[in-house]
Amino acid sequence: DTGVSQNPRHKITKRGQNVTFRCDPISEHNRLYWYRQTLGQGPEFLTYFQNEAQLEKSRLLSDRFSAERPKGSFSTLEIQRTEQGDSAMYLCASSHTARPTIYFGEGSWLTVV
Amino acid sequence: DAKTTQPTSMDCAEGRAANLPCNHSTISGNEYVYWYRQIHSQGPQYIIHGLKNNETNEMASLIITEDRKSSTLILPHATLRDTAVYYCIVRVVNYGGSQGNLIFGKGTKLSVKP
């Protein structure tokens, strides 16, 4: 499977704990995006990288959220001190600047209890 | 905010064509029209995109009006597996250069019925 891969697919955590999601983009895609989706809403943009540089961050990305893409390949999204409002599906997507169609992974579901 | 307007929901009979409309009256010259769909609990799936010409691929056809202010996604023979939320998105694309992100609205919930 050469699509966008996200892990873990499901995570249940207690309020106040930290969680980390990993995304492996399609091979050779230099752009990587993170989105969040809550029930009944469309996906909301959080941030994106071109290679290892984080080029844009939404105001939705509070200081408890941090995303990294250290070698320009996989990316991690960490949420510190989770709150119940963080419960959502976190989507990763990737594209290439020369072929800009964006492809999504299957998402990582977070439930904060 | 999303720059498109879509009906909240639509029904379609299995085997018939599904025609999903989208209004994007403020579209700019370098903005493409993209369509994605999302089946329950899965990530969005790319369907098709276009600038001003009509486009067709193995999944669907995209018809863009001459003034580019609206478009229609056509699923020629809808099946039960096409039941999903369909998103119409306009996005700046400069090949090899600046590209906008995908800004999703609420989309159209298409229900294909037997």
Q: What is the mean pLDDT of each run of 10 residues along chain A (113 residues)?
A: 90 98 95 95 94 92 94 95 97 91 96 98
User: What is the per-residue pLDDT for B62?
Assistant: 98
Do the chains contact at B96 and A97, CB–CB below 8 Å? yes
The token duo for A104 is 């999504």
Tell me: cis bond preceding A100? Omega within 30 of 0 counts. Answer: no
Among candidate residues A111, A9, A95, A15, the one with its CA nearest the CA of residue B36:
A95
All residue ranges of chain B with pLDDT < 70 are: 1-2, 96-97
Question: Is residue A71 a contact partner of residue A25, using CB atoms and an 8 Å limit?
Answer: no
Q: Looking at the complex, does the CB of residue B87 fall below 8 Å from at least one CB of chain A?
A: yes
Identify which of B55, B22, B54 has the alpha carbon closest to the alpha carbon of residue B37.
Answer: B22
Question: Would the CB atoms of B43 and A105 count as touching at under 8 Å?
Answer: yes
Nearest to A106 among B43, B97, B106 (CB): B43
Among B43, B95, B101, select the one facing A107 at the smallest CB separation: B43
**Distance separating alpha carbons of residues B78 and A29, to the nearest angstrom:** 32
d(Cα B78, Cα B113) in Å, to the nearest integer?
9
Say what the pLDDT of residue A54 is.
Answer: 93
Asked whether A46 and A63 are in contact (CB, 8 A), the reply is no
